[in-house]
Amino acid sequence: MSSAFLYSAVRTPFGKFNGALADVRPDDLAAAAIGGVLAQTPSLDPAAIDEVVWGNANGAGEENRNVGRMAALLAGLPTSVPGTTVNRLCGSSLDAAIVGARAIETGDAQIVLVGGVESMTRAPWVLPKPSRAFPAGDVAAVSTTLGWRLVNPRMPKEWTVSLGECNEQLQERFGISRERQDEFAVRSHRLAHRAWEDGFYDALVTPVAGLARDEGIRPGTGLDKLAALKPSFRPEGTITAGNASPLSDGASAVLLGGESAAAAIGRDPLARIIGKGAMALDPREFGYAPVEAANRALARAGIGWDRIGAVELNEAFAVQSLACVDAWLKDGLRDPGIVNQRGGAIAIGHPLGASGGRILGTLAAVLKERRERYGVAAICIGVGQGLAVVLENLEVAK
Buried b / exposed e over 108-140, threshold 16 CB at 10 Å, is ebbbbbbbbbbbbbbbeeeeeeeeeeeeeeeee
Cα–Cα distances in angstroms (integers) from residue 20 to residues 82, 91, 157, 216, 278, in the given order? 31, 24, 37, 10, 34
State the catalytic residue, choosing from 166, 189, 193, 350.
350
* Number of H-type helices and E-type strands within the chain: 12, 12
State the catalytic residue, choosing from 166, 189, 324, 380.
380
Catalytic site residue 380?
yes
Closest CA to 94 of 383, 376, 395, 284: 376
What is the spatial distance between Cα 156 and Cα 134, in angstroms, rounded to a whole number? 30
What is the spatial distance between Cα 215 and Cα 21, in angstroms, rounded to a whole number? 9
Q: How many Cα neighbours within 13 Å face the side chain of 94?
A: 36
Closest CA to 209 of 350, 6, 378, 14: 14
Strand spans (E) along 33-170: 51-55, 83-86, 111-119, 125-126, 142-143
Catalytic site residue 193?
no
State the catalytic residue, choosing from 90, 189, 193, 324.
90
Closest CA to 94 of 311, 379, 341, 394: 379
Residue 251 · residue 29 · CB < 8 Å: yes
Closest CA to 178 of 218, 219, 223: 223
What is the spatial distance between Cα 50 and Cα 111, in angstroms, rounded to a whole number? 6
Give me the phi and psi of 207, to 5 degrees please.
Answer: -60, 150
What is the spatial distance between Cα 312 and Cα 379, in angstroms, rounded to a whole number? 8
| Cβ within 8 Å of residue 87, ≥6 positions away | 55, 56, 57, 59, 353
Please identify every residue annotated as catalytic: 90, 350, 380
